[in-house]
Amino acid sequence: MLQGVYWLARGEGACYNRAMVIDFHAHVFSPQIMENRDRYIERDPCFASLYSSPKAKLATVEDLIESMDREGVDVAVILNGGWTTHELCVETNNYILESVARYPKRLVGFCTVQPHSVKPAVAEIERCVRGGAKGLGEMRPDTQSFDAETLVPIIEVIREHNLILLTHASEPVGHQYAGKGNVTPERLYALITAYPEITHVCAHWGGGLPFYALIPEVKEALENVFFDSAASTFLYVPEVYHRVSELVGVDRILFGSDYPLLPQGRLLREINSLDLAAETKEQILSGNARRLLGIAEG
């Protein structure tokens, strides 16, 4: 049985019975970045690939909290991005940590580092952990130019503090889109098999990696891997929730919106429109995330 008080979420047409909702994949940007977008586009190729278009949405932490209140989201994991320099990682980590300090009951922070800046990166992870960070992400092996071997000193700190590693992922086929990149299943698989003992979260359904779980050794390798649904409606038909549940288990799926790219309510309505058992929806929308993050249901 689901626990807690059921409610109808606010928002346009939203209607879903939930005790808690956790968005495992959201992004926020400081007013400095919002006001100087062109300067950051010039400074960072990853940011440029995602936000060069004036139609690409940016949001502050206040915008996110307003969306959470409107759509009935209790907690959000705010992720950083694949910045290519140590200095930009530190600057944007600062905003993540400040945001979590302002809204400690609503937000969980994940920070980022540039793995090639080895000693500064390790020191930065330690600083972020002291500031309450629970993981690293959204790391990007493509724009940040790292592989499993590059991550050795980073993984040591992840192990020490029991952090989660959240990695961007992209499909090897299908349409192109801003920021798609080439973190395809074989690159993720190499990273996962190199470090099977840490907790991995693969964004955007892992670029289709769960479908390879039909291969026995791949399914075994994915034992400690989770997949978020960020930007799902731009990438897959809703049936993806059923198929991934069957292939890797519903206990490995995390609701993620990719806010502000997609409104949180849009993905919530999609999930709640599916023919899934109430217990299954509870796991996707909060249960799995609560287990990973150590959050008690309010």
Q: Tens place of pLDDT for every residue, the chain, 298 residues?
A: 223 322 334 344 344 445 699 999 999 999 999 999 999 999 999 999 999 999 999 999 999 999 999 999 999 999 999 999 999 999 999 999 999 999 999 999 999 999 999 999 999 999 999 999 999 999 999 999 999 999 999 999 999 999 999 999 999 999 988 889 999 999 999 999 999 999 999 999 999 999 999 999 999 999 999 999 999 999 999 999 999 999 999 999 999 999 999 999 999 999 999 999 999 999 999 999 999 999 987 6
- Looking at residue 280, the DSSP 8-state letter turns out to be H
120-157 burial, b if ≥16 CB within 10 A, otherwise e?
ebbebbeebbebebbbbbbbbbbbbebeeeebeebbeb
d(CA 190, CA 200): 12
User: Quick one: tokens of 279?
Assistant: 């217990």
> Which helix (DSSP H) or strand (DSSP E) does residue 111 occupy?
strand 107-111
Domain 22-31+58-293 has what CATH class?
A: alpha beta
Q: What's the pLDDT at 7?
A: 33
d(CA 74, CA 219): 32
Q: What's the pLDDT at 171?
A: 94
User: Quick one: tokens of 52?
Assistant: 């060069």
User: Quick one: tokens of 13?
Assistant: 């047409």
> Which helix (DSSP H) or strand (DSSP E) does residue 164 occupy?
strand 164-167
d(CA 191, CA 283): 26
User: Quick one: tokens of 76?
Assistant: 């959000």
pTM of the model: 0.93
